[in-house]
Structure 1
Amino acid sequence: MTLSEHVRTLGRGPGRARSLTQDEAREAMRLMLRPDAAPEAVGALLMLLRMKGEVAEEIAGFTQGVQASLLPLPQVDLDWPSYAAGRTRGLPWFLLSARLLASAGHRVLLHGWNGDDGAVRGGLAAAGIAVADTPDQAARLLDQHGIAYLPLEILSPALFHLLSLRQQLGLRSCINTVCRMLNPARAKASVQGVFHPSYRLLQADAAALMGWRALSVIKGGGGEFERHPAKEIAGFGLRGGQPWEGTLPSLIDDTRRLDDGARDPAALAALWSGELDDPFARQVVLGTAALALDTLGDAQSDTTARSLWAARRTAQAA
């Protein structure tokens, strides 16, 4: 099929238009990723999907279409996408949660793009997480440190181009969701944040269609996988390949917002080293890490997260 035929499927009008099947979506993505894809057809397809509303079969198919185009990466334990635009989020404390898991021997791959918001990439060095310039370098960093950040524009320039079309189209497209679902190293578990709550079940259902085993999706800080410690949080996803829903209790009695105005990434390094004593930020890190550990199958995830935090201080003292 051609890309125009997929556009026709979506845009025939009331009573005749329908959603794409998973196979059709996989093929449509293959066509959109080609350098000779007609920009008019790409824009039409993305905006028709935007108006209709995405379904799990489409997201699963689009994601599989991108996955088939990626260079191979070494196996990791946890996939950690970061694609939020930064609204309502302050410093990216969740980066320390990812580093905490890596300190326990879990191989963690972060990947992402955050538009004009530079907080995540600006915080990586302070959080002790190296950025890979190539997929091969990501593999070396994972072997050396157990964690790496792979920018989307390095991971998939073609998908990055589709994501960047938001500037021309003026609206979010399904590509934002596909990026979160990408799991480029085929990790056994993934943790995802969303800004709009309706996407939690969409992403969980798409993951089930792709045969994933473990996933946690929350409405997190600014759309990232970052748990607000003073709020009760609803979690969705998969456990053992089966649908999972849970309610995560608040961890601290506080009225502080995640975006408290702090912008200096040096605070990340200071919290990790112990130079900064910030109970709220520490609970952001521990609560986020605990849910990630639970996704990996740790039945005592809260206790493990606290032990890892304490062990990190012990290692520093030694």
Structure 2
Amino acid sequence: MNLLTPAEHPFAQFVRILGKGKRGARGLTREEAREAMGMLLDGKVEDTQLGAFLMLLRHKEESAEELAGFTEAIRQRLPAPVAQVDLDWPSYAGKKRHLPWYLLAAKALAASGVRIFMHGGGAHTAGRLYTEQLLACLDIPRCQDWQAVTDSLDQHNLVFAYLGDWMAPLQRMIDLRNTLGLRSPIHSLARVINPLAARCGLQSIFHPGYQAVHREASRLLGDHAIVIKGEGGEIEVNPDVACHLYGTRDGEAWDEEWPALSAQRHVKPERLDAEHLLAVWRGEAEDDYARQAILATMALALRGLGLDRDAAFSEAERRWNARHLSS
């Protein structure tokens, strides 16, 4: 008979911190979050611990300190190159009410010389249209390694990379959604990473209250970022409602309220037809909602690159109208 007490798994402490009951549980410090995520990424955690950790975090709701610590662990393990990038553009939500007009905004910005790194985690929810499904249609290169990313940025200014190709352990955590039954905090965390240290990270957080948390995480990391509640969870300004910008630059937080662009709500389309995206891009179709969403999203990005609101909208319209001349 073995009378020795089994040694506790090193990761068990982090599950205990989060799950020790109403009075005993607490959030992770930034340092604890960095250590915990490091173990997750290095494969030093049992699957049962991974599931428990993600769901306890989801139930508690992640803090800015935790997001910052997680991001630091990820960045320490990223073999990403030094590359000139203007905008980090996470795309993880997919669209179900409106077409992804943000893709045309990104294409027009790229045609005008703005260098954009877009990344996403694949189609994970039925009934949504994801960026990955439209890359070929819109002639946006998908890159599977960092060398291809840097080459394509030099050639096209806009590239997309699948999270599983550059941080596979995080993709595995996202893919647990259908096993666990809930989205994990990794969906939110992916928006903070900014793997190529872009001049500005754009983030869309749909659920109220989380925007300020993400802004604070980016501030703690010393990043320049703008966080919004984007349409459908993507980085796309909804012209039918006011848009609040949660920004951070040089360690200081700032806020800005953009009023709705439309006096009344547009009727959402009966179905999402990707051909309509192409028609609007080519100038073969008029769509008031699309034009307002595209221009406002371009203005948001330009606001992140230093223009004030009025100049950003003026420049967005100029660049949109010149999209075919400069591409």
Sort the TM-score into its range (normalised by shorter chain).
over 0.9
| TM-score normalised by structure 2 residue count | 0.90
Q: Is the 8 A contact 1:99 1:128 kept in 2?
A: no
> Which of 180, 188, 202 is the equivalent residue of 1:169?
180
Query: What residue in structure 2 maps to residue 157 of structure 1?
Result: 168
Residue 296 (structure 1) aligned with residue 296 (structure 2):
no
TM-score normalised by the chain length of structure 1: 0.92
| Aligned alpha-carbon RMSD (Å) | 1.8
- CA deviation digits over 1:204-255, x for unaligned, max 9? 011011111x211111111011111122112212134311111111223342
Query: Which of residues 119, 128, 134 in structure 2 aligns to 1:123?
Result: 134
2:103 matched to which residue of 1? Answer: 95
CA distance in 2 between counterparts of 1:104 and 1:81 reads: 20
Q: Does 1:248 align with 2:253?
A: no
1:156-178 per-residue CA deviation (whole Å, 9 max, x = no partner) reads: 11110011112211112211111
**Higher gyration radius (CA):** 2
* DSSP-derived class of the 2:236 partner: coil
Partner of 1:61: 69
Question: For 1:15, what is the secondary structure of its paired residue?
Answer: helix
Q: 1:224 to 1:12 in 2, by over 3 A?
A: same
What is the CA-CA distance between 1:262 and the residue it aligns to?
A: 3.6
Residue 232 in structure 1 maps to residue 242 in structure 2: yes
Is 2:92 aligned against 1:83? yes
- 3-state SS of paired residue (2:23): coil
Percent sequence identity over matched residues?
A: 39
Task: Kindly indicate whether residue 212 of structure 2 is the aligned counterpart of residue 201 of structure 1.
Answer: yes
- Aligned partners of 1:90 and 1:167: how far apart in 2? 24
**3-state SS of 2:254 partner:** strand
Letter in 2 for 1:182: I
Moved more, 307-316 or 269-278: 307-316
Unpaired runs of at least 5, structure 2: 1-8
1:4 and 2:12 matched: yes
Letter matched to residue 14 of structure 2? H
SS of aligned partner of 1:83: coil
Q: CA deviation at 1:36?
A: 4.5
Rounded to whole Å, the distance in 2 between the matches of 1:210 and 1:68 is 13
Are the equivalent residues in 2 in contact too, given 1:70–1:156 (CA < 8 A)? yes
| Alignment partners' CA distance in 2, 1:126 and 1:90 | 17
Q: Tell me which stretches of 4 or more aligned residues in structure 1 moved more than 4 Å.
A: 313-316
Instruction: Name 1:285's counterpart in structure 2.
Output: 294
Any stretches of 5+ residues in structure 1 without a counterpart? none
Farther-moved stretch of structure 1 (175-184 vs 46-55) = 46-55
Aligned to 2:112: 104
